Structure 1
């Protein structure tokens, strides 16, 4: 992995792409968890959302070199 992606002549950091993808996945997961009533059992939802984002970002960043 080089650390940069070439998008029509503009170099974009891979971390930025991973962060945007993680945010989208986290938003989908948070919506599903909200609809199922999971957040009734969570003490601090914003803190849980931050932890969920970091977990998803870490998973994506570990999977990127394999793709």
Structure 2
């Protein structure tokens, strides 16, 4: 099994701009990211966080990594 490839989709043209596949993965991670931020805010768990912005960044990076991993599993 080889390393996962982000080129599953290839490049996408949007309004004359060519977008790399990583932009699609990052966009796909925005929906669960927004949902998790809303849940963290509503439940009051942000009270226990030292730096809210760093937590949000780490959460988004983890979600993008998860989306990339799930999107490339089983493809070679």
Range into which the TM-score falls when normalised by the shorter chain? 0.7 to 0.9
The structure in which a higher percent of residues are strand is: 1
1:1-67 equivalent positions in 2, closer than 5 A: 1=8, 3-5=10-12, 12-66=19-73
Structure 1, unpaired ranges of 5+: none
The structure in which a higher percent of residues are helix is: 1
How many residues are treated as equivalent by the alignment?
67
TM-score w.r.t. the length of structure 1 is 0.79
Structure 2, unpaired ranges of 5+: 1-7
TM-score w.r.t. the length of structure 2 is 0.71
Q: Secondary structure at the match of 1:43?
A: coil
* Structure label with greater radius of gyration: 2
Higher relative contact order (CA 8 A, sep 6+): 2
Give me the CA root mean square deviation: 2.4
